[in-house]
C-alpha cells in the first residue's frame, strides 16, 4: 500500500489509516459517500456530485461543516498527493463513533474518509465490446435515492450475476427494471426513444444520468423517463448503463438475449463520445 488517504483532517499512508471499531458507518452502514471521476488530473462533474452528497447527508439527518470549496480543496489535494491522472476520488462521511445503539448518538463527531485511486476509465475495453446483464429481484432497501454505504444487496446481486456468467445485473421490482447494481439503466426503442426509470426513491439520481439525458435531448432523441419492463428491454434495439466511472457503457445482452447484432449500438457509442468530450472540457 503506497497511497495517501485523508482521515478526519489528517493525511496518512494507507497502511496507517484507521477508524474506530465503534464507527457507525462500520456498525450500521450509517454513512454516505460519493465517487468523482478524474480525467487528465481534473474532477468530472464535481459540483453536482457535492450537491448530491449534501442531499444524502440531509436525508439521514447528518450535519457536516464542509462547504463546497472545502470539498474542492480536499479532492484536488487527493489527486495531487496520489499523482492521479485518470481514476477516481472517493469520499465517505459517517455519523461517527459512539457506543452501539440503534438511536442516533446525540454528540458523535462525524468521521470523514477520502482516498483516490488510479484506474483506466476513459478507454475501457468493455466500451468497445459491450457488457452482458441479467435481471434479478430488487432486494435493496426502499431508499435507493440516498447514496449510503449499505451496499450488501447490490454487492451480492453483482456477484450472483458474475457467477451466472454475466458482467452485471439489472434490478427488477413490481414496476419493472429499476437500475443496475451501481449504475442507471437505459434502453433505446425502435422508434429512437431513450427510456430510463423516472427519479424516485427506487433509483439513485445519477449525475452522469443527468448529463447524458441532456446530451441525448440535444441529439434529437426522444427522452422518456418511465418504468420499463424486462420484455421491453429484451425487445430494445440498444441498451446501456451510466455511472461516474463507466460513463456510458453499452449493453449487448440481457438475460442471454442478444440485442441487435450483438455489438454496441451507434446511439450508445455516440452518447459516450459526447459525454467524454464534455467531461474533458468541463472538468475542474
For 90, the grid coordinates are 472517493
Q: What pLDDT is stored for residue 77 in this prediction?
A: 96
Q: What pLDDT is stored for residue 1 in this prediction?
A: 45
For 85, the grid coordinates are 491522472
Collect all residues with Cβ–Cβ distance below 8 Å to 108 and sequence separation of at least 6: 24, 95, 96, 97, 98
Interhelix angle 266-282/207-218, nearest 10 degrees: 110
Q: How long, in residues, is the chain? A: 284
Query: What is the rounded CA–CA span in Å between residue 262 and residue 242?
Result: 19
Cα-Cα end-to-end distance for the chain? 28
Query: What is the rounded CA–CA span in Å between residue 270 and residue 61?
Result: 40
Q: Which of 42, 73, 119, 147 is catalytic?
A: 147
Q: What pLDDT is stored for residue 281 in this prediction?
A: 87
147 is catalytic: yes
Could you say which residues of the chain have pLDDT below 50?
1
Cβ proximity of 24 and 107 under 8 Å: no
Amino acid at each position: 500500500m503506497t497511497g495517501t488517504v485523508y482521515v478526519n483532517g489528517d493525511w496518512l499512508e494507507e497502511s496507517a489509516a484507521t477508524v474506530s471499531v465503534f464507527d457507525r458507518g462500520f456498525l450500521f452502514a450509517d454513512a454516505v459517500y460519493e465517487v468523482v471521476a478524474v480525467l487528465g488530473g481534473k474532477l468530472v462533474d464535481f459540483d453536482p456530485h457535492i450537491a448530491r452528497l449534501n442531499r444524502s447527508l440531509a436525508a439521514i439527518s447528518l450535519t457536516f461543516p464542509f462547504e463546497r470549496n472545502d470539498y474542492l480543496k480536499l479532492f484536488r489535494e487527493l489527486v495531487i498527493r496520489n499523482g492521479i491522472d485518470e481514476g477516481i476520488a472517493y469520499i465517505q462521511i459517517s455519523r461517527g463513533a459512539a457506543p452501539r445503539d440503534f438511536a442516533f448518538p446525540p454528540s458523535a463527531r462525524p468521521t470523514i474518509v477520502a482516498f483516490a485511486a488510479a484506474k483506466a476509465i476513459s478507454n475501457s475495453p468493455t466500451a468497445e465490446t459491450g457488457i452482458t446483464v441479467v435481471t434479478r429481484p430488487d432486494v435493496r432497501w426502499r431508499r435507493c435515492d440516498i447514496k449510503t454505504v449499505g451496499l450488501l444487496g447490490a454487492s451480492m446481486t453483482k456477484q450472483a450475476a458474475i457467477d451466472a456468467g454475466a458482467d452485471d445485473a439489472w434490478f427488477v421490482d413490481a414496476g419493472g427494471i429499476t437500475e443496475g447494481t451501481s449504475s442507471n439503466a437505459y434502453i433505446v426503442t425502435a422508434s429512437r426513444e431513450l427510456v430510463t426509470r423516472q427519479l424516485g426513491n427506487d433509483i439513485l439520481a445519477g449525475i452522469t444520468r443527468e448529463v447524458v439525458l441532456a446530451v441525448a435531448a440535444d441529439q434529437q432523441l426522444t427522452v422518456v423517463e418511465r418504468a420499463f419492463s424486462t420484455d421491453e428491454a429484451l425487445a430494445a434495439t440498444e441498451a446501456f448503463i451510466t455511472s461516474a466511472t463507466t460513463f456510458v457503457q453499452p449493453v449487448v445482452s440481457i438475460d442471454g438475449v442478444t440485442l441487435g447484432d450483438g455489438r454496441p449500438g451507434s446511439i450508445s457509442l455516440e452518447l459516450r463520445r459526447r459525454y467524454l468530450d464534455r467531461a474533458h472540457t468541463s472538468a475542474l
